[in-house]
Structure formats: C-alpha cells, structure tokens
Amino acid sequence: GAPVKELAWREQEVELGVLPIPRINEMDGGPYLTPIVVTRDGDSGRYNISWNRAMVIDKNHLGLWMSPRHLWSIFSKYERRGEALPIALVLGHHPAFFMVGAGLTKISQDEYEVAGGILGEGLRVVESEAFGGDLLVPADAEVILEGLILPERRSVEGPFGEFTGYSGPQRISWLVEIKAVTARKGGAIISVFGAHQENLYAHMPIQADIFHDLKNIM
C-alpha cells in the first residue's frame, strides 16, 4: 500500500489537537500549518498545487488563507454553485513537490504533471480516504489532511508571520472541515518559518518564472 496510508483517522476520529502543529511566531493567531494544498478542478480534471497558510480553529476545522490565484479561482466557481471543494493538505513530501506549489504555472497546466517533470518520474498517487478517486493524493507524502472548503462559510484567521519578516494581518478567511487524516508511521510535518534563510529555496520557481517572462519581452 501507499506509505501515506499506513495510519488513518476518519470523520469523528479526527482530532487536530494531537498533531504537533506549532505556533510559529509570537504574534500568530494560533497554531499554524504551511501546507501544500492539492485540489482537482472537477470541470477540467486538472490538478492544482498551491502553498497556503492554515490556522487551527478547533478539532476538525482550519482557517485557510487563499490569495486570488488558482485555488481561489477554482473554489469561487464551486461556491457560486453552492458546492464545497474537496482538498488535500500535504504536510510533507519531496522538496520538488513543494517547489511546484511555489511556482507561477498557468491554470491550464496540470500541476501533478509539472511535479512529475521536476521529479523526473511520474508522481505516485493514491485514492483519497474521504473522496476516493475524485481526488487522488500523493502516495509518498508524510501526512495528509483531507477536507472540504465550505461554501458561504468564513472564519477569523491570523495574524501570521510572513516571508517578508513582518506579521501579516488578521483576516476573514475560508473555513475548511477536515474529513480524514492519513500518515506514514513516524511521518514528519514540514512547516515553513517565514523570513528565515533556509526557506528561501521556495522563491526559486518564482524567480524562474519571472526570468522566463522577462526573456520573452526583451
């Protein structure tokens, strides 16, 4: 079986409080995850990978901040139809997988395919615990939270220490209900400590995209 399926908790078994989720900065609004969020656009079938911040609200809810890019665009479409959006929050994987989440690829690209290109082999995936084949998740992840971004539901989230070295403001953000947690035995949760030197590798794909765009116009 998939390594990330060695342990599993479903529905009423979910308790985020037992996970080692840190309050990263003194002024943070609560314990924070900095996950790679995976979703599948049900209309196009393409997978999107993004890097987000998520604050623990209670035992099975997170406040998720989305900048107005691809994940936000996909969810907005679902919300207009009154639908929740299935997502997976990947809390540890190969560094190349995280770099895809930091990149500026086009919404027309399937980012699972992009991840496979960077890894040099196809990304191994498995059916999610909560959504089956409707949402495939990375088989070799460390820990995955599966949940729904709820339509017409919001939560106070923040402040949070950002990569700029300053505290980002408290916001009204989107509410995620966690439906399942899967993990490797002894799986490690990877967190980003914003503005620290060791996390600047996440800027590499952004720099590459900017270089590509500048090269095209010069």
- Catalytic site includes residue 162: yes
* Tokens linked to 176: 């995620």
Q: What is the pLDDT of residue 209?
A: 64
What is the percentage of the chain residues whose pLDDT exceeds 70? Answer: 91
Confidence of residue 199 (pLDDT cuts 50, 70, 90): low
Largest CA distance in the chain: 56
Greater confidence, 190 or 130? 130
Q: What is the pLDDT of residue 85?
A: 99
Domain-by-domain residue ranges, the chain? 3-217
For the residues 148-161, what does the mean pLDDT come to?
96
What dihedral do alpha carbons 158, 67, 134, 191 form, nearest 10°?
A: -50
Asked whether the predicted pLDDT for residue 203 surpasses 80, the reply is no
Secondary structure letter of residue 145 according to DSSP: E
Confidence of residue 212 (pLDDT cuts 50, 70, 90): low
Q: CB neighbours of 72 closer than 8 A, spacing ≥ 6?
A: 66
Q: What is the pLDDT of residue 207?
A: 64
CATH of domain 3-217: 2.30.110.10
pLDDT digits (tens, 9 = 90+) for 72-107: 999 999 999 999 999 999 999 998 888 888 777 888
What is the pTM (predicted TM-score) of this model? 0.89
The angle that helices 204-217 and 95-102 make with each other, rounded to 10 degrees, is 50
| 12-16, 23-27, 150-154, 164-168: least confident range | 164-168
Cα–Cα distance for residue pair 139/143, rounded to 1 Å: 10
From the candidates 79, 113, 127, 162, which is the catalytic residue?
162
What is the percentage of the chain residues whose pLDDT exceeds 90? Answer: 73
Cα–Cα distance for residue pair 35/81, rounded to 1 Å: 26
Q: What is the pLDDT of residue 130?
A: 98
Asked whether the predicted pLDDT for residue 7 surpasses 80, the reply is yes
